A and B are shown apart, each in its own frame.
Chain A
Amino acid sequence: MTTESTGLSRPTPDYRPGSPDDFDRLYRTSYPRILGTLIGVLGDRAAAEDCAQETFVHAFRSWKSWKPDAPAEAWLHRIALNLAISYRRWARLREVGELVRRLGQPEPGSDPADLVSRDDLVKALRRLPAPQAAAIVLRHYHGYSNREIAVALGTPERTVASRIAAAKRRLQRELGVDPAGASAVPGPQLGTGGPSDVVIDEGHEATG
């Protein structure tokens, strides 16, 4: 896990808005982190790569107008998260259509090589609302502080803290992790649960 401070709060490297070479440099630096965040949010590597590439397409179009007063990576994360939300919305609609078309037919098997999609934690993250999943990945994978995440997502710091807390409660419940610290027991066993046992409805994305 990358625990070192990233680029969100340090002074922004010398990127010149509109410079193609600097954008290439930004891509080399930031693409892995953007991809990591999107995998956490989307739970699907192919989708995350698609969204990550689109993130940089959108960013490149606006590169001339990017203001260096905000960290470039924060700006990229905001674009990425908006795209991820759009993707999830589209995927839900497509899923409904597929389900109707497949009525009575067996479900297609998942790609055995796709370890990401089969991972229990990734599956659980995918069921979280996109902003919560993003906050978890930014905090506990990239090592950003709540303030840095707030800058990246354009939300108040307090909102970030509450999102992370809510996300952790859900993850603990879904993964059957004892909040006291025992190892996770994935499967139908539930943890102690939190005060807000919200039923996660896959058809709707809760805000927060």
Chain B
Amino acid sequence: MTAKFDHWLEDELGRTLTPIVSQPARPGLARYQLTRTHRLSIGRKAVVSLAAATMALGASAVLAAASGSLNPQVWGQQVSSAVEQCKTDLQPGLHGIGACVSAFARRQGQQMQTQHGANGANGAAGQNHTGNHPSPPWLRQQASPAVSSTP
């Protein structure tokens, strides 16, 4: 191979590629950033979801214990009745029925614990995020070694 061909090759490559590759790269626009922010947002979402689920579990456990039933309609009605009763029983000049409702829930809970036991509801967020961005089609497909020749 001669030096002249090498120079010609280098000139041609430079002419073609340099205008393209001389443009500055901006990390903020790069595809890998999606993976990064997806992981962060999954982390935050998981925390928020877990907190909400824990609160919901706690509330549902109280209500379920208070009503003696895991059926939301049943314990909902029972709790409503308890609230109304507490309002009726509230003495003039006093405010707040929280203590009354809590006492009701405790009483029911103690009764139900002996019958139902603790629930093992899974309160964790049920999402299954891998944090992976979808692969392009040319990576998803596995090339078959047997390629039929063109007609």
Contact = CB atoms under 8 A, between A and B. Distances in A.
B5 A172 contact: yes
A27 B14 CA distance: 21
Contacts of A137: 13, 17
A166 B118 CA distance: 74
B20 interface: yes
A35 interface: yes
Contacts of B147: 92-93, 96, 203
A56 B32 contact: yes
Contact of A33 (B9, B21, B36): B21
B35 interface: yes
A207 interface: no
B139 A121 contact: no
A90 B138 CA distance: 5
Contacts of A119: 16
Given A27-B27, A93-B147, A121-B16, A54 B5 contact: no
Contact of B13 (A35, A54, A121, A203): A121
Interface stretch (A64-72, A146-154, A175-183): A175-183
B138 A141 contact: no
Nearest to B139: A86
B6 interface: yes
Interface in A148-182: 165, 168-169, 171-172, 177, 179-181
Contacts of A116: 16, 20
A100 B24 CA distance: 40
B98 to A, nearest CB: 47
A73 B35 CA distance: 21
B133 A57 contact: yes
A138 to B, nearest CB: 11
B95 interface: no
B144 to A, nearest CB: 7
A86 B133 CA distance: 18
Residue of B17, B24, B144, B147 contacting most chain A CB atoms (<10 Å): B17
Contacts of A172: 5
A53 interface: yes
A177 B24 CA distance: 34
Nearest to B12: A121
A181 B25 contact: no
A36 B1 contact: no
A124 B5 CA distance: 15
A10 interface: no
Interface of A: 1-3, 20, 23-24, 27-28, 31-33, 35-36, 39-40, 45, 50, 53-54, 56-57, 59-61, 83, 86-87, 89-93, 96, 99-100, 103, 115-116, 119, 121-122, 136-137, 140-141, 165, 168-169, 171-172, 177, 179-181, 183-184, 203
